[in-house]
Chains A and B, each alone.
Chain A
């Protein structure tokens, strides 16, 4: 009888341990700070890799963005109210151009940061499925650390980047403001923005310039 009770307990304890372990693993699968550390490491490594050509760098960076940034959602956000005014063809072209635009804009801005170190400060939950990861980025040639906050969204046990805020300046909000302004200046014509993006992204999609944004 005693023996049996112990076995039951032991069994229950094992089950409980297993459950806790599984839960921990499930959490670890979407570990926001680790995700950011890995992502920034891969991005800076890709940008600083001397062994690969510009074309390969572009395709690697492209893949990194597609896998880790919620591009369709961010694209809809930065177009704001104009997203709903755009027709399907315009929406599709915008999404394609936006990716190239991001690569050309950020590959250039980040190229001085290839030897930077990132330190995660804290992670805060936002709503039911989002996180804000606060970090400090230190560059060897600048003593002042830069504070960078990452907005992440969790979906189907996968984390994706929504926004990056540098010293309080959100990239998504800044782009939304710029895009809205250029469309408004042209009497609400979304094609004006698309034309502007086409010309700045052209060089990048040809794989000619990644580190030198144009």
Chain B
């Protein structure tokens, strides 16, 4: 429901910008241990907050004026089954990146699942427009290089909001760039830059359409929308890194004497 990975998948310019930012803030240090609740939830770790808030406002403006209205128009024009087919098609195109990251995380079962899904949906599912694999009990899962880095124990680094790209701390910026470079579509459409950009555009609008109500409600009910998104982004990334398994060892304590002093 709340898919926060509203990241635009690329474009040459954004890739270069993201890379520059990644270099600027240097490689995140490899943490001694995997994420503690402090790194994931409670610690704000937002040294660039004023700049981040400014970019966040800019992104919100872009969303209000361009992205959200486009997503609404997209919803109005395409009936639900067509949108579902578009989602299936775009999801299927992500399979090579998911497969690679399944392997990098040494998860052979999930890799086999991704490979089977890709084969079935490409062939029987008419180039991925349908998802017969799901009906065969092969549920889709998500992976990318940011999650792989997280699974390897790389901490996300300071919170960072990038223009048009949204929340992307250094670890996830590097992951985002790596995803572009490992995506076969980047090379298949090398000669067709417009087609590639159009694909990214459709992907972005299609993803935005699916969360219109969720983000409307969230914005309406938040006392601090920026802080809410910051917290949501981190928690969601950690959940994706753990493949949806609750982090039983790092549950926050509700005991009065243990309620953390860090916000």
Spell out A's residues near B (CB within 8 Å).
Answer: 70, 73-74, 76-77, 80-83, 104-105, 108-109, 112, 124, 126, 130, 132, 134, 142-144, 146-147, 149, 151, 153, 162-163, 165-170, 172-174, 176-182, 184-185, 193, 196-197, 200, 213-214
Asked if A162 and B246 make an inter-chain contact with CB atoms under 8 angstroms apart, the answer reads no
Let me know if B231 and A109 touch, CB within 8 A.
no
By the criterion CB–CB under 8 Å, are A132 and B246 in contact? yes
A149–B246 CB distance below 8 A: yes
Query: Would you call A81 and B224 a contact (CB within 8 A)?
Result: no
Please report which residues of chain B, range 235-249, place their CB below 8 angstroms from some CB of chain A when the two chains form the complex.
Answer: 235-236, 238-240, 242, 244, 246, 248
Q: Determine whether B1 belongs to the interface, using a CB cutoff of 8 Å to chain A.
A: yes
Interface string of B34-52 (1 = CB under 8 A from A): 0000000110100000000
Question: Would you give the shortest CB distance from B248 to chain A, in whole angstroms?
Answer: 7
CB A148 to nearest CB in B, in angstroms, measures 10
- Is A80 touching B261 in the complex (CB atoms < 8 A)? yes
Contact B239 A81 (CB under 8 A): no
What is the number of residues of chain B that contact chain A, defined by CB distance less than 8 Å?
39
Question: Given known contacts A168-B239, A200-B221, is B248 in contact with A132 (CB within 8 Å)?
Answer: yes
Contact across chains for B244 and A168 when beta carbons are under 8 A apart: yes
Q: How far is the CB of A38 from chain B (nearest CB, A)?
A: 22
Bound together, the chains give a CA A202 to CA B263 distance in angstroms of 26
Residue among A74, A77, A178 making CB contact with B228, cutoff 8 Å: A178
Known contacts A168-B244, A169-B232: A178-B222 contact under CB 8 Å = yes
Q: Are B263 and A81 touching (Cβ within 8 A)?
A: yes
B248 contacts A176, CB within 8 Å? Answer: no
CA distance A76 to B259 in the complex (A): 8
A-B contact pairs, 16 of them (CB 8 A): A70-B254, A76-B259, A112-B213, A126-B248, A132-B248, A142-B1, A168-B242, A168-B244, A174-B228, A177-B41, A177-B230, A180-B263, A181-B44, A182-B223, A213-B217, A213-B221
**How distant is the Cα of A80 from the Cα of B252 in the complex, in angstroms?**
11
